[in-house]
Amino acid sequence: MTGGASFAARLGGVIAMMLLLGCGLTAGLNYLKFERMLLEQQAKVLEILAVELGATVENSLALGVRLAGVPGAQALLERSRAAEPLIGGLAIADSDGVVLFDTDRQNLGATLPRDLFDPRAAAESWRFRDGARHGIGAPIINGFGQLEGAVLLRYGRDAVDERLTATLLGMVKAGLLALAFAVPLGVLGIHLVTRQARRWFAAVEGAMQPGAAAEPLAAGLQQAIAEADAVLSDAERRLEAIAATLPESTPVPEPAAP
């Protein structure tokens, strides 16, 4: 029974590994898909907020106020950041990239790099990366269709990471629960399917033991070999008899050379 048990154990191990690999790949792909969906959803929500802030500033510009003198701009940014915990920072820069208002006041007067704000390509909202944080920019256009500056909104992915962690734990629990049912059922199925194979292994192992009695399976195999040998021997004798009755062929003389 050692060979049969070993065969069944190896087959069960292979199937269990395939189940684990399949569950792992499925969980990984779903995790990455869910991560992209959450990041995209978060970016769209914050993009709407940035565009609304830009529209609010544009309404002030319509009254003839310069961007640097928009009343309440600093307070507007600070209130917006306090109202939305996803926002990591807000800033308003002019068309030259100089920061006019910022929730982090130490950045006031600094010039933004081109990879964060490029006036030549700021016809509509855009997205950027600022170190470990993501960002969204919304242009500020005056009543003449000219670019006055932009609203820059920075945000992290802490909220996304929290939801991803909770989702990953749920996926792991569901996967372990599925394996807890699938593995025992698979082992039971293998045990039933390989029953005949285990019998064959046991018969062969028993027949190979010194002084072992002939097993029915081995006896049947020996009988089949003997019958096949008898048929081949009879065919050989018939061929020899047919060859003996054939006349000997006379050699054909070769023509003489001229």
3-31 pLDDT, tens digit each: 445 666 676 677 778 877 877 787 778 87
Burial 87-122 (b: 16+ CB within 10 A, else e): bbbbbbbbbebebbbbbeeeeeeeebeeebbebeeb
26-52 pLDDT, tens digit each: 777 887 888 888 888 888 888 899 999
Is it true that domain 2-162 has CATH number 2.30.40.10? Answer: no
Residue 90: the pLDDT is 92
Residue 231: the pLDDT is 85
In the predicted model, is pLDDT for residue 110 greater than 80? yes
State the virtual CA torsion across 115, 53, 99, 61 in degrees, nearest 10.
120
Bridge partners (DSSP) of residue 111 are 98
Reading the block at residue 128, the tokens are 């950027």
Question: DSSP secondary-structure letter at 33?
Answer: H
Residue by residue, DSSP assigns 171-239 as HHHHHHHHHHHHHHHHHHHHHHHTHHHHHHHHHHHHHTSTTPPPPHHHHHHHHHHHHHHHHHHHHHHHH
In this prediction, residues 84-111 reach a mean pLDDT of: 88
Residue 1 confidence class, pLDDT cut points 50, 70, 90? very low
Q: What is the mean pLDDT of the chain?
A: 78
Question: Within 13 Å and on the Cβ side, how many CA atoms surround 128?
Answer: 20
Cα–Cα distance, 112 to 90 (Å, whole number): 13
pTM across the whole model: 0.57
The better pLDDT of the pair 112, 223 is held by 112
Residue 152: the pLDDT is 92
212-251 pLDDT, tens digit each: 555 555 566 567 777 888 888 888 888 888 877 766 655 5
Residue 137 has phi, psi (to 5 degrees) of: -115, 140
The SS3 of residue 110 is coil
Residue 257: the pLDDT is 53
The better pLDDT of the pair 217, 67 is held by 67
Cα–Cα distance, 133 to 67 (Å, whole number): 26
Bridge partners (DSSP) of residue 153 are 90, 136
